[in-house]
Structure 1
C-alpha cells in the first residue's frame, strides 16, 4: 500500500468514531466503555460484536471477525476496501480531498484488494476441507495436538488435502471466478502459491496433505498461508506462501491481528512458530505473536510500537540456536523504547513451549511464562558461563558484569545484581552495591542511543486514555525529555500524584516511555488507588492504609511494595511541609518543561493555520492552552504556599 493511500485510510480512521459509522448499518447498544451489536457476519442471536471507540476496532467474540472501521463497511456491504473508505467519506461528511486521493488509487492498490478477496475465498475452502467427513483423520490428529474446535475457529485453521482437490474446485466454476476476480487465473494462482506446474505443463495443488494456518496482517486482512505436514517426514515441515504484494514475512507477525483486539495488550510474548503461539494463547497468555522463523525487523517493531505495546517478552526455542537468536534480538532491542524480558528456561527440559505444554500441561506452561528475566539478568547469566578459575579471569568477569549493568541495568534489580555477582566473587556487599549504584547513575546520565531507530507510540492507558489524539502528540516526536530528570525525581513525582490526581493526565506516552517497567507499575497502582475513591491525603497521614491496599492487590510484586514503602515513609504528614517536599522539587522537574513546551507548540500551530479553514482546530488548541495555563497556576500556588511555609 502506498504511503499516500495509507495516510488517507489513517486520516479516515482518525476522523470518525467507529461506533458512529457502524450504527449507520446495524443497531448498536452501549454497555460500559464499549458498544455491542448482533454480529452481521455469522448467524448471531446474542450481542457478540464488540465495538471499541478507544481502540477504533470491532471484534465478534463468537466468530472472531474483526478489523477497523473501513473493513467493517467493506465486509458488511461486500465491497472493496477502497470503496468502503469512499463511502465513509461521503456518509460522514469528511473532507472531500480525501475522496480525491482515493479516486486516484494506483493499480497496485486494486491488485492488493483482489488478493485479499482471493485469500478469503480459498480460506473458506481450506476450512471446509477440514470439516469434510472424509478428512476426520485430520481432526483426530489435531485433537491429539490438543487443538479443540474453539482453537480451530479462533485461529482459522484449515486443511489442504492435495490430490488436486483445490484445483478441481476452482476449475468447476472457473469462468465465474475469473470474471469476478482475475487473480483466480491459473498462472496467477501459481504466483500466489496455490498451484504449481510440472514439467509436462500440468497444474497441481501447491499444498498437499497439510494443516493450513491462515496468516493475517494487523488490519485483519488474510495475506497468506502456511501448511504443516501431517505424515510425510521427507518433505519440509512447513510450506509457506511465497513473498507477494501483500505477504512479506518481515512485515507480518502471526496472531497480531488478535492481540490488538485485547483490552490489556501492553505486553507482548514473542515466540518462533505457529504452535508455540497457539500453546501460549491456550496457557492464558493470549497476547502472543510468532515471528514465523524470521528475525524481528524494524517494520515489525514499528507496528508493535504503534499499538502502544511497551514490554516485549521473548520465548524462543530452548536450544543453542534459540539462545543465540534470543541474545541477538535482545541486543538489537536494547536501545529502543521497549522493556525487554526473556522467559527463563533453566527449569525447562523441553525444546519449545508447545512441547512443554504437551508434557506438563497449560497451567505449568503459564507459570513458566511468568518466570521472566530482565535483559540485564539474561546477559549476566550468559557471562556466568565463562571460565573464572584465575584472578585475571575473575577480574575480566567482574568487568563484564559491570559493563552489562551499566548498559542494560535497572535500579530495581540492584539487590539481585549484588547477590548474583557475589555468588562468584564474594565482594564486600556494601562496596559492591555502591559501585553498582554509581554505574546505574552514569547510565541514566547518558543520552539515549540509536535515536534514528527509536519508535514513538501512544501509551494505551485503560483509565485515562483519550480516544481522540490531541495535536500536541506531534510535538512528542521532536522533543525528548531528559532521562536523568525523570529518574532523579521519580520518588517526588510519585508524591505529586498522591497529592493531586490532576497531574496523572500529564503522565502520557512520552513520559511513560522514560519509566522502567516497575516505575510504570507504581503509577498504575496509584491510578487504581484513586479508582477505589480513597482519600488520598490519608496516604500521607497514615501510610499503612496504602501499604495494606498494595499488599492486598499486588502481593506478588515484592520489589514494588518495598519501593512504595520507602517513598511514602520519607514523607511525614505535615500541612506546612507536604507542598514544600513535593513541589519545590517539582518546579525543577518535567512538569514545567512539559507545560511550557506544549503551550509554545500549540501557539505556533495556531499561527500557521489558516483561520478560515481551521476554526474548529484553532478553538480546540486555544482550549488546551487555557487548560494547561490553569494547571500551571495550580502548580505556582502550591509552590508559593510551600515557600511561605518554608519562611515561617
Structure 2
C-alpha cells in the first residue's frame, strides 16, 4: 500500500463528518451540541457514547474508548491506520493508491468493483441453473448454506457466455480484460477466461469482490486459474475467507490452509476460523493482516513436500513479526479437506490441540532426518540442533528447550551449552522493522532521554522509576526494557565506545538506540543525579498534564449534552474529581 502524504491525510480529515461516519453503525440522537447513542464496543442499555461533530471526536463514558473518525473505523472494522484512511477516502470518493488524490482512478476502481460484483451474481446464477456444479458440490457434501455463505458460482462451457452477458450492460471490453474476466487471443478474438469451472469470489475485508478463483470441473490442463493483479486485486496482500474474520477474532485463533476448497470444507464441518493464503507462499502482508485478529496461528498445509516448504516459510514469516506459529501435522499425506471428511470435526480439533509450536515442529523434523545411533549422523544432528537453539532470542525460552532436549536425547546439557557458545557468532538475530522511536515526536525525545540518564548514571533504580512514571512511551515501550537489559547484560557504561557496541551480538535496532545515546555531546549533564531527578519530575508532570487534558476533553463533551442520565452524571462527577486530584499532584511536584 503506497505511502500517503500527511497533507492528503489532513485533506481527508477536513472533509470527514464524524457523525455521518458513526451513524452508519449506530443510531445517534442529538443532545445539545453533541450526539449520543449506545456504544458499539460494549453492551449497554443506557446511552453513554457521545459524539462531537465540531471537535470531530467520540468518547464512551461506559468503557472509556474514544478518538476521531479514523480511530472509530480502525476499531470497528479491525483495520490498521493506513487501511482506515483508504476506507474513509473511499467513502469520500478519493483514490489514494498513487499517493495522490485521483478522482479519475477512484472512479475507475469503483467501476471495476461494480463489474466484479455483477460477475459474482452472474456466476452464482449459473450455479443454480446447471446440473454439473450442483452434482460436484453435492458429491463433496457441501451444504447449501455454505455455498450461499461463500457465494460460489459456475462458469459454463462456451467461449463467450460472460462476454455476451456484459455486452448489454454498457461495460467496456478494456475493463473486462483488465480484470481477467475475458482474454484476447493472438489473432484478436475475445473469449471468456473462465469456462467449465467452479468459481470462488475473493473479497477483501471491506466485503468488496476483488477477484476470482476458478477450479476446473472437467479434464483441463490447469486445475485452478485466478484473477491477474489489478488496481483492485493484489494477491500478496489479500486472503481467501476474510468473511471468517469475525469468528477468528471471537475464537482468538486461526487455521491457515492452502486453498479455497480447504476453507470451505472446514467451514462446512463447523471449523469457521480458517483462511487461505491464495497459494502456498504466505506473504508478510498477509501475516500482518491475520495477526490483527489473533496471535494464535495454526498452519495446516498439505503433507507433501510443497506443503512442508510452505510451512517452513510461513513459520519464518510469522517469526519476522514476533509471532510463533503452531503446526498441524496431517497424517497419511492428506490435505485438510480430505482429513475432515474422513475423520470429522472432533478429530480435526484434536489435531489443533496436539499441534506443535514451530520450535518443537522443527525439532521433530530434525529427529526424523538423522540416525542418532550413527556417530557421524548424530554429530550433524547436534550441529543443526544448536543452530536452531541459537535462533531463539529469548534466553529464558532457550534455557527451557535446552533442558527439555538434553533430557530427551540423554545428552549433558553443558555440552550443548558449550556448542551454543561456539556458534554464537553465527547465530541469526531477526531484524525487526525500523523501530517506532525513529519518529520525530515527544515520545522519541523522552525515550532517548530516559536511556541517556540510565546509561550515564548506571542506576538500576532509575529503570523502575521511569517505568512507574506512567505509560508515557506508548508504542516505544517495547524497546525500553530490551534496551535496558542489553545495557545490563553487556555491562555498558558512560565509557563504552561506539566500536565496543558494534562488536557485540544483539538486535541491530537496540544497538542503534544505544549508539545514539553515546553520541551525546554534553555527557556531564546526563551523568548528574540532580539532573536525573529533575528529568523524572518533568516526566511525571508531562504524563499528568496529558492525562488531565484527556479528562478535560471528556468533561467538555458531557457539558455540551442537553440531558445527562444518572450514569453520565456520575461520570461527570468522577471526571471532575480526577481532574482535581491531578491538579493537586501537579502542585506537589
TM range (shorter): 0.5 to 0.7
Change (3 A) 1:263 1:365: same
Q: Distance in 2 between matches of 1:378 and 1:170?
A: 51
Aligned partner of 1:450 in structure 2 is: 431
The question of 1:408 aligning with 2:392 is answered yes
Aligned partner of 1:274 in structure 2 is: 260
Q: Does 409-418 or 310-319 show the bigger shift?
A: 409-418
Change (3 A) 1:30 1:600: closer
Shift of 1:25: 9.9
TM-score after normalising by structure 1: 0.56
Q: Deviations over 1:470-503 (max 9, x none)?
A: x9x9959996999xxxxxxxxxxxxxxxxxxx99
Q: CA contact under 8 A between 2:258 and 2:278: conserved in structure 1?
A: yes
Q: How does 1:293-442 map to 2 (within 5 A)?
A: 293-305=279-291, 307=292, 309-345=294-330, 348-384=331-367, 385-408=369-392, 411=396, 418-424=403-409, 426-427=410-411, 431=413
Change (3 A) 1:340 1:153: same
Change (3 A) 1:29 1:58: farther
Q: CA contact under 8 A between 2:472 and 2:543: conserved in structure 1?
A: no
Q: Distance in 1 between matches of 2:174 and 2:306?
A: 39
Look up the SS of the partner of 1:398 in the other structure.
Answer: helix
Shift of 1:372: 1.7
Q: How does 1:478-517 map to 2 (within 5 A)?
A: none
Change (3 A) 1:204 1:381: same
Look up the SS of the partner of 1:264 in the other structure.
Answer: helix
Q: Distance in 1 between matches of 2:118 and 2:475?
A: 40
Look up the SS of the partner of 1:239 in the other structure.
Answer: strand
The question of 1:154 aligning with 2:161 is answered no
Q: Does 267-276 or 198-207 show the bigger shift?
A: 198-207
Q: Distance in 1 between matches of 2:430 and 2:90?
A: 44
Q: Deviations over 1:539-575 (max 9, x none)?
A: xxxxxxxxxxxxxxxxxxxxxxxxxxxxxxxxxxxxx
Look up the SS of the partner of 1:242 in the other structure.
Answer: coil
Shift of 1:251: 1.3
Q: Deviations over 1:3-38 (max 9, x none)?
A: 439957996899569653444699x977992699xx
Q: Distance in 1 between matches of 2:137 and 2:537?
A: 57
Aligned partner of 2:199 in structure 1 is: 212
Shift of 1:357: 1.4
Q: Where does the alignment leave 5 or more consecutive residues of structure 1 unmatched?
A: 37-51, 60-66, 72-80, 88-97, 179-183, 457-470, 483-501, 516-592, 608-614, 634-648
Shift of 1:318: 0.6
The question of 1:168 aligning with 2:164 is answered yes
Q: CA contact under 8 A between 2:326 and 2:357: conserved in structure 1?
A: yes
Q: Deviations over 1:175-216 (max 9, x none)?
A: xx32xxxxx212331221111234554332110011110111
Change (3 A) 1:372 1:33: same
Q: Distance in 2 between matches of 1:375 and 1:478?
A: 37
Q: Distance in 1 between matches of 2:556 and 2:151?
A: 48
Q: Deviations over 1:251-304 (max 9, x none)?
A: 111123531575426433222111122233345443322111152223223433
Shift of 1:308: 5.2
Aligned partner of 1:33 in structure 2 is: 42
The question of 1:127 aligning with 2:130 is answered no
Q: CA contact under 8 A between 2:340 and 2:348: conserved in structure 1?
A: yes
Aligned partner of 1:522 in structure 2 is: none
Q: CA contact under 8 A between 1:405 and 1:436: conserved in structure 2?
A: no
Change (3 A) 1:317 1:32: same
Q: Distance in 2 between matches of 1:187 and 1:209?
A: 23
Q: Distance in 2 between matches of 1:7 and 1:207?
A: 40
Change (3 A) 1:57 1:389: same
Q: Deviations over 1:230-269 (max 9, x none)?
A: 122x320101111111112111111235315754264332
Change (3 A) 1:508 1:3: closer
Q: Deviations over 1:574-619 (max 9, x none)?
A: xxxxxxxxxxxxxxxxxxx999979757979999xxxxxxx95999
Q: CA contact under 8 A between 1:162 and 1:205: conserved in structure 2?
A: no
Q: Distance in 2 between matches of 1:437 and 1:321?
A: 36
- The count of residues paired between Structure 1 and Structure 2 equals 450
Look up the SS of the partner of 1:4 in the other structure.
Answer: coil
Change (3 A) 1:479 1:302: farther
Aligned partner of 1:109 in structure 2 is: 106
Aligned partner of 2:455 in structure 1 is: none
Q: Distance in 2 between matches of 1:239 and 1:389?
A: 48
Q: Distance in 2 between matches of 1:513 and 1:352?
A: 41
Counterpart among 252, 262, 278 of residue 238 in structure 2: 252
Q: CA contact under 8 A between 1:337 and 1:454: conserved in structure 2?
A: no
Q: Distance in 2 between matches of 1:510 and 1:216?
A: 34
Q: CA contact under 8 A between 2:202 and 2:211: conserved in structure 1?
A: yes
Aligned partner of 1:20 in structure 2 is: 23
Shift of 1:136: 2.8
Q: Does 260-269 or 310-319 show the bigger shift?
A: 260-269
Q: Distance in 2 between matches of 1:361 and 1:476?
A: 53
Shift of 1:113: 1.5
Q: CA contact under 8 A between 1:57 and 1:68: conserved in structure 2?
A: no
Shift of 1:331: 2.8
TM-score after normalising by structure 2: 0.61
Shift of 1:170: 1.7
Change (3 A) 1:507 1:372: farther
Q: CA contact under 8 A between 2:4 and 2:99: conserved in structure 1?
A: no
Q: Distance in 1 between matches of 2:433 and 2:249?
A: 31
